[in-house]
Amino acid sequence: MARLNVNLTRMVLTNLKRRLNTARRGHKLLKDKRDELMKKFLEIVKENRKEREKVEKMLMDVHSRFIMARALMSDTHLEEALIYPKQKVTLKASSKNVMSVQVPVFEFETEGQGDRDIFPYGFANTSGELDEAIIALSKVTPHLLRLAELEKTAQLMADEIEKTRRRVNALEYVMIPNLEETIKYIVMKLDENERGNLTRLMKVKDMILEQAHGYKKKMTEES
Amino acid sequence: MGRIREEDYAYATARVRAVEVRLMDDNKINRLLNMTDPQDAVKFLLESGYGADHTDSEKKAAENIEVLFDDELKNTYNFLLEILPSPEPVYLFMRRYDYLNAKLILKAEFLGVNVLERLSHLGTIEPEKLHEYITDRNFDELPEIFSEAIHESIEAFNLTRDPQVIDLILDKASYQNMLSDAMRYEDPFLTKLVKKLIDTANIRIIIRTELLGQPEEFIKKALIEGGNFPVGGSQEFSGQNREKLLQILNEAGLEKLSLKLAKAFENNHGISEIEKILDDYVISYFKPSKFAILGLDPVIAYLFLKETEIKNLRLIITGMVNKIPAEAIRERLRMSYA
């Protein structure tokens, strides 16, 4: 462990002790934050996996229906039918705070007369299989947005967990041991100084007494 | 326009009889269905005469099967125009692509995108010209029904901002145009055929609007008049339309079709089975044409059989590319030869 390069004074010692206290409290708080983030992260990952499986299944269904519609209509017919979407979707993107992480929140609103009003083409020259594909696709949209929200949240939380983990480790394995060692060293040095002072004082006392009473001289005479 | 005599079709009938043997029969369709590699299927099509006009057809076909089908259809139309004494019966069906292009041009214009390259070349009007007419709002060169429909759909779109109204108006006008052309041509075979096409379009609309729970006003706007069974006036469709539809078909003398549709409703296999029944119903109209010695019937029958063949081939190859089970493809295949 590296000792900090500080002056070996009581003031510094007091400051370092204060810093150590703060570091220990911060370490505990960050550790709690990391644990809570992990808990939330695991919940999100679990939900994300479920949502992804659901969305993938739904998209496969949409894909197979579109393939069938595509197989029954020429490129130009399909292009004409789908070029101009009938339903407009407004996406509102905001954010919310989860354990000091700003995670996205997507809300979407559709303009139109609801689920029945989503077909931008006439029914005389198009295949009915296209209707099924469009319905399936419109059902998958809210799930896709939820998945996007979850995946981004998981990504942001993973970043925050990583940052917190680094901070916890830095406090646990670097800052706190360094402070402890420096404090120990300063205490040791100050104690040593103290002991040096005491010895010096005793010596001075002896010298003063000697000067005043001449004990040494008397002792020599007596003997 | 005076009616053309049956004898005038002698040359056209003979030419059609010579080429119709090259249409894909059940054996060829089964061979294609058993293939697993789309490249093999394309080779098979090239061997069967598809893309014969292109030197680089193999490469082209492998890249985009749709180009091959479009070219084949274009060749078929050109062939029929070449052999018929009057182009009108072929123009009647080619105009469907003018309407398709018009819909695409209008939607693209309202959306602010360029679709010139994606327009169909199968119509009677060059796509570039049609694009120019519509963009400049110069409808003088277009048939009256067509120009009125374009004008109406522009107005309706500006009022509602709903792209579906463009399709509804132009689809309706497309069938009305076909019917008026057929009546002008004074050929009962052609008129009956167009009426059958209107019937199948109406049945498709009625069933799909019911399945999708579309409101009554929508059905009223979408249905096309001029078919064999009435759709306007007292025959208003709303809510549970199936029973009413079957009853009306029976009353209009279309019992066989009604029976097949009733069975499909019972099977509840979805819209695909119903669409197949409707397409097969149109193709079955050409059965007697097989035995006709002279006349327009074999020529138009050939056109429809070719279109159906292309529809079936597109179904098989798209299914093959996307690994759709052969059974799902087989049950959607249209009657290939009457």
Supply the ipTM of this predicted assembly: 0.89
Q: State the smallest CA–CA distance between residue B62 and chain A in angstroms.
A: 16
Q: What's this model's pTM, rounded to 2 decimal places? A: 0.83
Work out the percent of chain B whose per-residue pLDDT is above 70.
91
State the Cα–Cα distance between residues A67 and B318, nearest whole angstrom. Answer: 7
Query: By percentage, how much of chain B surpasses pLDDT 90?
Result: 45
DSSP SS3 for A151: helix
Q: How far is CA B3 from the centre of its chain?
A: 25
Full residue range of the structural domain in which residue B70 is found: 1-84+296-338
Q: Please indicate if any CB of chain A lies within 8 Å of the CB of B168.
A: yes
Let me know if residue B112 belongs to a domain: no
Give the per-residue pLDDT at B147.
Answer: 94
Q: Please write the tens of the pLDDT for every residue from B317-328.
A: 999 988 888 888
Q: With contacts defined as CB-CB under 8 Å, which chain B residues touch A69?
A: none
Cβ-Cβ pairs closer than 8 A, A with B, add up to 121
Give the one of B171, B311, B332 whose C-beta lies nearest to A124's C-beta: B171
- Residue B1 domain flag: yes
Q: Which fold has domain A10-181?
A: Helix Hairpins (1.10.287)
Boundaries of every domain in chain A: 10-181
* B2 pLDDT higher than 60: no
Restricting to A residues 163-222, those with a Cβ less than 8 Å away from any Cβ of B are none
Over the range B34-65, which residues count as b (16 or more CB within 10 Å of their CB) and which as e? ebeebeebbebbbebebbeeeeebeebbeeeb
Render pLDDT for B12-64 as a digit per residue (tens, 0 to 9). Answer: 999 999 998 888 888 888 899 888 888 888 888 888 888 776 655 555 555 57
Please tell me if residue A70 touches chain B, with a CB cutoff of 8 Å.
Answer: yes
Gap between the Cα atoms of B185 and B167, Å rounded: 26
Tens of pLDDT, residue by residue, chain A (223 residues): 688 899 999 999 999 999 999 999 999 999 999 999 999 999 999 999 999 999 999 999 999 899 989 899 998 999 999 999 888 888 899 999 988 899 999 988 887 666 667 899 999 999 999 998 999 998 998 999 999 999 999 999 999 999 999 999 999 999 999 999 999 999 999 999 999 999 999 999 999 988 888 777 777 887 7
Q: Which residues in chain B have their CB less than 8 angstroms from residue A71's CB?
A: 314-315, 318-319, 324, 329, 332
Other CB atoms within a 10 A radius of the CB of residue B263 amount to 11
Inform me whether the C-beta atom of residue B334 falls under 8 Å from chain A C-beta atoms: no
Query: Quick one: which of B257, B263, B168 has its CA closest to B209?
Result: B168
* Nearest alpha carbon to residue A69 among B336, B279, B260, B271: B271
Is residue B43, in this structure, part of any structural domain at all? yes
Whole-number pLDDT of residue B54: 62
Distance, CA of B201 to CA of A60 (rounded, Å)? 30
Nearest CA in chain A to B67: A75
| Residue B238 pLDDT > 70 | no
Beta-bridge partner residues of A39: none
Angle at B187 between CA B184 and CA B193, to 5 degrees: 100
The answer on pLDDT for B160 being more than 80 is yes
A127:B103 CB<8 A: no
3-state class of A145 per DSSP?
A: helix
* CATH for B68: 1.10.132
Would you say residue B280 has pLDDT above 70? yes
For B223, the closest chain A residue by CA position comes to A124
At what angle are helices B88-111 and B188-211 packed, to 10 degrees?
A: 30
Question: Taking every pair of C-alpha atoms in chain A, what is the biggest distance, in angstroms?
Answer: 139
For chain B, positions 184-223, list CB contacts with chain A under 8 A.
201, 204-205, 207-209, 211-215, 222
Interchain contact B275–A (C-beta under 8 A): yes
Question: What are the C-alpha distances in Å from A44 to residues A30, A32, A41, A192, B255?
Answer: 20, 18, 5, 56, 59
- The neighbour count for residue A28, using CB atoms within 10 Å, is 12
**Number of domains making up chain B:** 1
Band the pLDDT of B314: cuts 50, 70, 90: very high
**Alpha-carbon gap, residue A57 to A70, rounded angstroms:** 20
Token code pair at residue A127: 């295949």
Q: What is the mean pLDDT of residues B164-183?
A: 94
Residue B126 lies in a domain: no
Task: Evaluate the CA torsion angle B229, B235, B236, B241 in order and state its sign.
Answer: negative
Closest Cβ opposite residue B104 in set A83, A124, A131: A83
**CB-based burial label for B230 (10 Å; 0-12, 13-18, 19+):** middle
- Please state, in angstroms and as integers, the Cα–Cα distance from residue B303 to each residue in B14, B122, B151, B181, B232, following that order: 15, 13, 31, 17, 31
Q: pLDDT value at position B48?
A: 83
Average pLDDT over residues B253-263: 89
Residue among B163, B315, B318 whose CB faces A120 most closely: B163
Q: Looking at residue B240, what is its pLDDT?
A: 64
B208/A129 CB distance under 8 A: no
Instruction: Confirm or reject contact between A123 and chain B (CB < 8 A).
Output: yes
Touching A: B residues 50-109, CB under 8 Å: 66, 69-70, 96, 100-101, 103-104, 107-108
Choose the weakest-confidence range: B12-21, B48-57, B151-160, B177-186.
B48-57
Q: Chain A: give the shortest CA distance to residue B207, in Å.
A: 9
